[in-house]
Structure 1
Amino acid sequence: MKKVALFLANGFEEIEALATVDILRRAQIPVETVSILNEKTVTGAHNVSVIADKIFQEADFSDIEVLVLPGGMPGAKHLNEYEALKELIIKFNDEGKQIAAICAAPIVLGGLGLLNDKRATCYPGFEAELTGAKTIGENVVVDGNITTGRGPGLAFDFALRLVEQIAGLKTKQEVQNGLLL
């Protein structure tokens, strides 16, 4: 089964990060939360603090196959400023590995030129920062190895689409039914 790394920066959107981790783990998909800070404690946009599994500098990404970027502000801005993460994203993209971003976080992918001629979605108002993308208002958009989601109220849709991509439609339906969706 593919392993996932989900990145946390101060100001992350709690719903997008935690719902995604929860839903992926319900599907038995291994997920590591990774802080881009020099410590494991990361505080979200609504003052909810969480303890990440790893610190970026200490993480080994050799067995990770999917990268997930939750949005939130200023969390997405902090992710976009973290050069080591951007280098990792470029490497994953070059290898055709899966990359997912929701809400404001697709700005990281847009800034790297990874959305050129791709369909994508994001939180309303950030479309201009998705350089080269064909932005559409769908809840979740998959184009090649890139998955983008619109925002916090759609975190379940985003996470369930990742489950389907990683573990298949049957697993997605089982998790969805267990959540009474």
Structure 2
Amino acid sequence: MKTSYLFLAEGFEDIEALATVDIMRRAGMEVYTVSVTSDNKVKSAHGVTVTADKTVDEIDAYDAEWLIVPGGMPGSTNVAASGKVCDMLGKQWVKGGRIAAICAAPAVVLGPLGILRGQEATCYPSFKDQLVDNGGKYVDNRVVISGNLITANGPSSAFVFGFAIVAETLGDDVASSVASGMLV
């Protein structure tokens, strides 16, 4: 199994980032949190400072299993402002790699990169127009899987999002086992 990376930018949505990483690690997946700056300390949208496992300068995402973008504002805007992260996401998509994004991130980060063009996707409802303006086909579901792309609509869908990533990687049985162990 390859390594996955979840990007953290100042103002990231706490639950979307940490629940996703937690679920993936419970499933035995190798996933690292990555600060989009050279500082591995990142403050969430709700004032929680998290120490990222790595900084964007310390990773080579070429052979990544998943590149994951949590939402939150201004977290999504800050990810979108990172040329390095956007380059990694673009290359991942072009080579047919897997990408997952939740809340504002599908519209704010992936949309301008052309990743949503022609794809069914969801996002936080107030970003629907931006998703559609960037060529995405908005679907009003908690989680949408469209080929190598998983999107989710917001914080309350963080568990479903994490389980979808696990299921797409390791299968439904593993995802169900992790969910059962978490009493979901």
Query: Could you say whether these structures have the same fold, taking a TM-score greater than 0.5 normalized by the shorter chain as the test?
Result: yes
Q: What is the DSSP-based 3-state SS (H/G/I as helix, E as strand, rest coil) of the residue aligned with 2:125?
A: coil
Task: Please list the CA deviations of residues 96-118 of structure 1 after superposition, one character each: whole Å capped at 9, or x if unmatched.
Answer: 00000000000211111111111
Contact kept in structure 2, 1:111 and 1:129, CA below 8 Å: no
Quote the RMSD (CA, aligned, Å): 0.9
Offset of 1:84 from its aligned partner? 1.1
Paired residue for 1:70? 70
Offset of 1:50 from its aligned partner? 0.5
Paired residue for 2:34? 34
**d(CA) in 2 for partners of 1:60 and 1:127?**
32
Identical pairs, percent: 46
**d(CA) in 1 for partners of 2:62 and 2:96?**
14
Partner of residue 143 from structure 1, selected from 139, 142, 146:
146
- The structure richer in helix per residue is 2
**d(CA) in 2 for partners of 1:62 and 1:139?**
29
Offset of 1:6 from its aligned partner? 0.2
Q: What is the DSSP-based 3-state SS (H/G/I as helix, E as strand, rest coil) of the residue aligned with 2:88?
A: helix
Q: What is the DSSP-based 3-state SS (H/G/I as helix, E as strand, rest coil) of the residue aligned with 1:122?
A: coil
Unaligned runs of 5+ in 2: none
Paired residue for 2:44? 44
**d(CA) in 2 for partners of 1:118 and 1:4?**
22
Paired residue for 2:137? 134
Aligned pair count reads: 181
**d(CA) in 1 for partners of 2:37 and 2:10?**
8
Paired residue for 2:61? 61
Task: Compare 41-50 and 127-136 and name the one that shifted more.
Answer: 127-136
Contact kept in structure 2, 1:7 and 1:34, CA below 8 Å: yes
Contact kept in structure 2, 1:17 and 1:70, CA below 8 Å: yes
Q: What is the DSSP-based 3-state SS (H/G/I as helix, E as strand, rest coil) of the residue aligned with 1:125?
A: helix
Matched ranges for 1:111-126 at <5 A: 111-126=112-127
TM-score (normalised: structure 2): 0.96
Q: Structure 2 counterpart of 1:149, which letter?
A: A
Q: What is the DSSP-based 3-state SS (H/G/I as helix, E as strand, rest coil) of the residue aligned with 1:10?
A: coil
Q: Structure 2 counterpart of 1:61, which letter?
A: A
Q: What is the DSSP-based 3-state SS (H/G/I as helix, E as strand, rest coil) of the residue aligned with 1:110?
A: helix
Unaligned runs of 5+ in 1: none
Contact kept in structure 1, 2:62 and 2:92, CA below 8 Å: no
**d(CA) in 2 for partners of 1:95 and 1:156?**
28
Q: Structure 1 counterpart of 2:161, which letter?
A: F
Task: Please list the CA deviations of residues 3-59 of structure 1 after superposition, one character each: whole Å capped at 9, or x if unmatched.
Answer: 210000000000000000000000000001100122100000000010001010122
**d(CA) in 1 for partners of 2:136 and 2:61?**
27
**d(CA) in 2 for partners of 1:14 and 1:155?**
10
Q: Structure 1 counterpart of 2:126, which letter?
A: G
**d(CA) in 1 for partners of 2:73 and 2:60?**
27
**d(CA) in 1 for partners of 2:63 and 2:12?**
25
